[in-house]
Structure 1
Amino acid sequence: MTVTTAKWTLDEYHRMIAAGILDQRRVELLQGEILEMSPEGEPHAYFSSEAGEYLTRLLGDRATIRPSKPITLPNQSEPEPDIAVVHRLGRAYLDHHPYPENIFWLIEYSDSSLDQDLETKSRVYAEAGIMEYWVVNLRQRHLIVFRHPQAGDYTSKRIVTEGILYPQAFPDVAIPVNAIVSQ
């Protein structure tokens, strides 16, 4: 017996949300599949909240920090990254979630979802042309920085445990690694 997974479009997914079908579920759409999101443990909630507040203060009017809100990607995906650093479009976000061209970079905090964030989501984000993607490995307390999307994958991937990062979108902004995740 062959099992076929039903694929959903963004429009179908939005209609399910509008109809209330997904109200009691924490889900996101990845490449046409509706996936359950892992619950947040205490370290996940703490680090993502602290980093979001730090980035808001650091970037000020240069960007909007959207914590755990959807982004809309052309590959039938609408994930909810822990932190999306996006263009300040104000009321435009009443009509649509940020698109790839509105996104400076994304951050995911990962424990039980680490494999999915490192493999599936990195490909989804690279395919959509997201220039920079950071994954915080909560198990080992280090940061994995993905850059330079090309042909559905990132050509640069490095693990960082200390020091300063300069986001591609803001090369003049120094971000201490311990502001994103501390040891």
Structure 2
Amino acid sequence: MLESNLPPFPVWRWTLDEYHALVDQGSFDDERVELLEGWIVPKMTRNPPHDAAVVRIDGVLRPLIPSGYHMRVQSAVTTGDSEPEPEPELAIVSGETEDYEEEHPGGQDILLLVEIADASLQKDRRKTRVYAAAGVNVVWIADLRSRQLEVYSGPMAASGEYQNRHVYQVGESIPLTLQDRGHEIPVERLFSRKRQETP
């Protein structure tokens, strides 16, 4: 839960319908926020390295998308009727764009979900609990500062945890299966060669 810094007085947890009503009223037109576990929280400020990483990883994954799926970029996903509605950087989802004109894709629709972390690594790790509870099969967190990829798989909905977590470093390749077709992706393809920061 995202409760460690709550103020010492009653606070309001928003439902998904209430959050949508606020969005429809234009309450967040000038702000970048998302709904996580009932809290309306700010999204990470987008900077050039982050945006470049979105384009780079999109370019690596898009040619691998199987027939009957498409890529969503920085778009919301639904994790339940009254649950969080996070906005991952990338998600490969089933169907066509028109299939989601009335509602966002849910966990069962998502083949692969990607979060890109610069200053948001701890927040993105907490979000894996939301994705596990929703049944998202595979989640990537691309850590731009350490130039490594965290891969979560085997969601356990009841506990909100993943059975498997593996960290891939530069020099290794990530095994990725999309609709029974296997791929090997070198980690260095996901990260900038100009940025060699350490954790």
Which runs of 5 or more residues in structure 2 are unaligned? 1-6, 194-199
Q: 2 CA distance for matches of 1:41 and 1:170?
A: 33
**Does residue 153 of the first structure (1) align with residue 161 of the second (2)?**
yes
**Does residue 44 of the first structure (1) align with residue 44 of the second (2)?**
no
Q: 2 CA distance for matches of 1:84 and 1:163?
A: 23
Q: Is the 8 A contact 1:47 1:181 kept in 2?
A: yes
C-alpha deviation, 1:178, in angstroms: 2.7
Q: Is the 8 A contact 2:65 2:92 kept in 1?
A: no
Q: 2 CA distance for matches of 1:113 and 1:61?
A: 32
- Say how many residue pairs are matched: 182
TM-score (norm 2): 0.84
Q: 1 CA distance for matches of 2:175 and 2:69?
A: 15
Q: 2 CA distance for matches of 1:152 and 1:112?
A: 23
Residues 35-69 of structure 1, C-alpha deviations (whole Å, 9 max, x = no match): 00111222211111111123222225342111101
Query: Quick one: which amino acid aligns to residue 173 of structure 1?
Result: G
**Aligned with residue 181 of structure 2, among 167, 172, 176:** 172
TM-score (norm 1): 0.91
Q: 2 CA distance for matches of 1:142 and 1:82?
A: 17
Q: 1 CA distance for matches of 2:109 and 2:155?
A: 16
Aligned twin of 2:197: none
SS in 2 for 1:86: strand
**Does residue 87 of the first structure (1) align with residue 87 of the second (2)?**
no
SS in 1 for 2:14: coil
**Does residue 112 of the first structure (1) align with residue 122 of the second (2)?**
no
Cα RMSD, aligned residues only:
1.8
CA gap of 1:178–1:88, structure 2 versus 1, over 3 A, is: farther
Q: 2 CA distance for matches of 1:149 and 1:4?
A: 32
Q: 1 CA distance for matches of 2:183 and 2:177?
A: 11
Which is further off, 154-163 or 15-24? 154-163
Query: Quick one: which amino acid aligns to residue 188 of structure 2?
Result: N
Q: Is the 8 A contact 1:70 1:78 kept in 2?
A: yes
In terms of fraction of residues, the more helix-rich structure is 1
Kindly report structure 1 stretches of 4+ aligned residues shifted beyond 6 Å: none
SS in 2 for 1:4: coil
Q: Is the 8 A contact 2:65 2:178 kept in 1?
A: no
Query: Quick one: which amino acid aligns to residue 32 of structure 1?
Result: G
**Does residue 67 of the first structure (1) align with residue 73 of the second (2)?**
yes
Aligned twin of 2:196: none
Q: 2 CA distance for matches of 1:122 and 1:64?
A: 22
